[in-house]
Structure 1
């Protein structure tokens, strides 16, 4: 893997981020349903900041920080963190392109979010489809604490509510 740069995402990155997301979707089915407007999906209401991983100018990963009120199992997360929902920030839209995996890019993106000033002292939380896959293993290896799990508030393309797990950042 060439030298990696984690940079704040700008509007000029969005076309390349959408292309990276398309690669992830075609490889892994994330997101489960391809959005009608991928740029809007990457800029949801309540987003606080976003970062890209660049290798030789190519977008190979992405992560964003959002208001936590849309995270699954948010009440359980707030209780575990001993704070209100406004005391939390959600990690969202984290993905790494298939060819760039195994290079610790996801870990680097998470570290960047953990160190960002836009976090403003809020405790980080996230939710993930609870399929015992690579994302679940990554969060647990990095020390994130599983707080809750259960059916999602949304349905997948098959009409079924997948099981999700909610995690609290250890720091």
Structure 2
């Protein structure tokens, strides 16, 4: 497994992996009309992918404000520490991220990796139950 900077040529593989994640986990809650655009928000400062023999296995981005965005690992590649490796590719500190309360596995991963919850609030979007999502805010300072 190789973790490297994402290139334009990776976007189709990223969209395919994101579709697998959405089918398995409901992330993103609403499938975007433009999934490649979803992976390339206007405030994106950089993005990295994990690639194996089957293609893109994971993705992470960081915004101009040093917030982690669009972190996911395809179901076929889980259980190998890939999310942690993707997060380690981000060298800026402190980093922040938000995660829906529904993301129990993601929350457990972040907390095992040393992220600290600094607050929670309701989002302006709906969770899988159709209610305003409870979002937890985390920071990694190292």
Regarding TM over 0.5, the answer is yes
Matches within 5 A, 1:4-43: 4-43=1-40
- 2:77 equivalent in structure 1: 100
How many pairs are equivalent? 142
Matches within 5 A, 1:85-124: 89-113=66-90, 115=91, 119=92, 122-124=93-95
SS at 2:95's partner residue?
Answer: strand
After superposition, give the CA deviation of every residue in 1:28-85 in whole Å (9 maximum; x if it has no partner).
Answer: 11000000000110110110000000112611000000133xxxxxxxxxxxxxxxxx
Q: Provide the rounded CA distance (Å) in 2 between the counterparts of 1:145 and 1:90.
A: 14
1:131: how far off?
3.0
After superposition, give the CA deviation of every residue in 1:96-131 in whole Å (9 maximum; x if it has no partner).
Answer: 000110000000000111x2xxx3xx5210000023
Greater helix fraction, Structure 1 or Structure 2: 1
- What TM-score comes out, normalization by structure 2 length? 0.94
Out of 64, 67, 71, the residue aligned to residue 67 of structure 1 is 64
Could you list the structure 1 runs, at least 4 aligned residues long, displaced by more than 2 angstroms after superposition: 153-159
Indicate the RMSD between aligned Cα atoms, in angstroms.
Answer: 1.5
Unpaired runs of 5+ residues, structure 1, are 69-88
- What TM-score comes out, normalization by structure 1 length? 0.79
Q: Is the 8 A contact 1:33 1:157 kept in 2?
A: no
Greater strand fraction, Structure 1 or Structure 2: 2
Q: Provide the rounded CA distance (Å) in 2 between the counterparts of 1:157 and 1:41.
A: 19
Q: Provide the rounded CA distance (Å) in 2 between the counterparts of 1:165 and 1:92.
A: 14
